[in-house]
């Protein structure tokens, strides 16, 4: 069909002639209401953005002289962020003379990574950026499903004899 015939057909039906595939040979055109077409495209695009999962990078900061309990609390926070699907940047912030003892930060980052090895994979090894030494942990897709399958679920309630023994001691 020639372009003139297509244009006259579009005018007769009160529609627009829209070129769909300009790079194909011959170019492909469609008769449609262009305003409605653009509206439908924008609604599809909006829906795609809603369902799209953004890959966010969250940061958890440590200090070189951090207590054991504080490390455990921050590890729980990192685990929670990883379970939500975010990547986590674990940073150790130095002040003053602490910069001379970077091995403490490396040891701390290694300890955090070893603790979270089942839930995360190391995406970036320790690197020094100004006053911060950091690693990036990404959620490990396979670890979550493996843990859910292999974890035994104890449904049976505690027996009374066991309960009595624990009260006596």
DSSP string of the chain?
--HHHHHHHHHHHT-EEEEEETTSSSPEEEEE-HHHHHHHHHHHHHHHHHHPPP--EEEEEE-TT--HHHHHHHHHHHHHHHHTT-EEEEEEE--GGGGG-HHHHHHHHHHHHHHTTTTEEEEEEEEEETTEEEEEEEE-HHHHHHHHHHS----SPPPHHHHHHHHH-
Tokens standing for residue 74? 């921050």
128's CB contacts (< 8 A; 6+ apart) are: 102
Q: 14 — alpha (psi -120 to 50), left (phi > 0) or beta? A: left
Q: What pLDDT sits at residue 76?
A: 92
Task: For residues 136 and 91, give the distance between their C-alpha atoms in angstroms, rounded to a whole number.
Answer: 9
The per-residue pLDDT string of the chain (169 residues; one tens digit each, 9 = 90 and over) reads 788 888 898 889 888 888 888 888 888 888 888 888 889 889 998 888 877 766 788 899 999 999 999 999 999 999 998 888 889 999 999 998 988 988 999 999 999 999 988 888 888 888 888 899 999 999 887 655 444 444 454 444 454 455 555 555 4
Q: What pLDDT sits at residue 136?
A: 92
Q: What pLDDT sits at residue 72?
A: 93
The crossing angle, in degrees rounded to 10, of helices 68-83 and 102-115 is 50
The reply to whether the predicted model has a pTM over 0.75 is no
Terminal C-alpha separation, the chain: 94
Q: What pLDDT sits at residue 164?
A: 52
Q: What pLDDT sits at residue 168?
A: 53
């Amino acid at each position: 069909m020639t372009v003139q015939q297509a244009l006259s057909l579009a005018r007769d039906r009160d529609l627009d002639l829209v070129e769909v595939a300009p790079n194909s040979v011959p170019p492909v055109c469609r008769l449609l209401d262009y305003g409605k077409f653009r509206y439908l495209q924008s609604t599809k695009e909006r829906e795609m953005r809603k369902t799209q999962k953004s890959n966010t990078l969250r940061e958890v900061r440590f200090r070189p002289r951090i207590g054991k309990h504080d490390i455990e609390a921050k590890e729980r926070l990192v685990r929670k962020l990883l379970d939500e699907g975010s990547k986590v940047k674990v940073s150790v912030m130095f002040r003053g003379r602490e910069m001379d003892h970077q091995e403490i930060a490396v040891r701390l980052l290694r300890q955090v990574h070893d603790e979270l090895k089942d839930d995360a994979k190391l995406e970036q090894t320790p690197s020094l950026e100004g006053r911060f030494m950091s690693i990036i942990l990404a959620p490990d897709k396979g670890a979550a499903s493996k843990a859910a399958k292999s974890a035994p679920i104890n449904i049976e309630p505690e027996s009374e004899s066991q309960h009595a023994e624990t009260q006596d001691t």
